[in-house]
């Protein structure tokens, strides 16, 4: 009885999580422009999506901003995490505490703060301001994931390598980086996901010519979301599912090979 109840509860949880995603995919094939009732099956909106230049431009802006900001956040965050793990210096506790501020404060406050800084520095709002803003709130997440990977890291390995003749650069690239690489990849995936999904901070720091995909969707809510938005969202989710499945299969095979 307990096993049956647990299975029913698990099934309800999965239905609650994935039913909205399934609805978006189903209505992307709906012939009706108003996604209230499913009328007929069609691929029309996928063709419309290809011809919707504004929608594709918004999605392109999102990918470009997310890619560049993730790269910058990974470089800065990984180096900061390694430095804070290795060295002791004055103000380390303060810097450690300050890293939590972009994570815990409301995004509205962070968005307004960044907008004020851009206004004071006379930086025009556009793709550059978006990249700076997304890099700013992504760095702490990279630092936290890399530092979590570094916990329990035995520095005696580095000392042994240096005793055998390796220099600091060889130790960093040949020993430290491979060990912390899972943390770097996790931080990069998290930063990329947060950047693609962000709406509030992007709303305050974007310009007219650099509208992102979330902003485009919110803009379309006034007149009703077009089904071609559902079509593009379905493709994004399909690609995401494929990536997750590939990563899970790779992890399973690597674990099996180790055994």
Residue that wins the pLDDT comparison between 258 and 5 = 5
What pLDDT sits at residue 134? 93
Query: Mean of the pLDDT values across residues 247-257?
Result: 63
What pLDDT sits at residue 254? 55
- 2 has pLDDT over 70: no
| Predicted model pTM | 0.82
Residue 191 vs residues 60, 98, 204: alpha-carbon distances, Å: 17, 18, 19
pLDDT in tens, 115-169: 999 999 998 888 899 999 999 999 999 998 888 888 777 777 877 888 778 887 8
- 81 has pLDDT over 80: yes
- 257 has pLDDT over 60: no
Residues 207 and 58: beta-carbon distance below 8 Å: no
pLDDT in tens, 10-29: 888 888 888 888 888 888 88
What pLDDT sits at residue 29? 87
Count of H-run helices and E-run strands, the chain: 13, 0
Q: Helix (H, G, I), strand (E, B), or coil: what is residue 30?
A: strand
Q: What would the two tokens of residue 248 be?
A: 């899970």
What pLDDT sits at residue 256? 60
What pLDDT sits at residue 131? 93
What pLDDT sits at residue 259? 55
Ordered by start, the domain boundaries in the chain are: 1-52+226-259, 61-225
What pLDDT sits at residue 65? 93
Buried/exposed 122-137: b ≥16 CB within 10 Å, e otherwise: eeebbbbbbbbbbbbb
Strand partners, 41: 30
Over 33-81, what HEC string results? CCCCCCCCECCHHHHHHHHCHHHHHHHHHHHHHHHHHHHHHHHHHHHHH
- Cα 8 to the chain's mean position, in Å? 32
pLDDT in tens, 37-75: 778 888 888 888 888 888 889 899 999 999 999 999 999
| Whole-angstrom distance, CA of residue 188 vs CA of residue 192 | 6
Q: What would the two tokens of residue 4 be?
A: 């049956």
Residue that wins the pLDDT comparison between 139 and 259 = 139
Q: Which CATH number fits domain 61-225: 1.10.3720.10, 3.40.630.30, 3.60.130.10, 3.20.20.140?
A: 1.10.3720.10
Q: Which of 97-101, 184-188, 239-243, 251-255 has the highest mean pLDDT?
A: 184-188
């Amino acid at each position: 009885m307990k096993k049956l109840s647990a299975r029913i509860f698990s099934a309800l949880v999965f239905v609650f999580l994935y039913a909205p995603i399934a609805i978006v995919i189903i209505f992307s094939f709906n012939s009706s422009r108003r996604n209230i009732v499913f009328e007929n099956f069609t691929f029309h909106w996928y063709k419309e999506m290809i011809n919707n230049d504004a929608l594709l431009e918004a999605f392109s802006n999102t990918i470009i901003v997310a890619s560049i900001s993730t790269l910058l956040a990974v470089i800065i965050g990984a180096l900061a995490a390694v430095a804070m793990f290795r060295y002791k210096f004055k103000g380390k506790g303060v810097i450690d505490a300050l890293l939590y501020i972009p994570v815990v404060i409301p995004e509205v406050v962070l968005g307004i703060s960044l907008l004020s800084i851009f206004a004071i520095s006379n930086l025009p709002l556009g793709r550059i301001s978006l990249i700076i803003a997304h890099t700013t709130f992504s760095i702490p997440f990279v630092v936290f994931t890399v530092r979590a990977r570094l916990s329990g890291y035995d520095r005696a390995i580095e000392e042994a390598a240096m005793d055998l003749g390796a220099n600091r650069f060889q130790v960093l690239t040949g020993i430290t980086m491979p060990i912390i690489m899972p943390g770097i990849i996790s931080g990069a995936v998290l930063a990329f996901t947060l950047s693609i999904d962000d709406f509030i901070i992007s709303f305050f720091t974007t310009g007219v010519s650099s509208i992102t995909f979330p902003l485009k969707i919110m803009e379309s809510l006034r007149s009703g979301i077009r089904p071609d938005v559902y079509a593009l969202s379905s493709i994004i989710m399909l690609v995401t599912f494929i990536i997750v499945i590939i990563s899970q299969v790779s992890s399973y095979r690597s674990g099996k090979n180790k055994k």
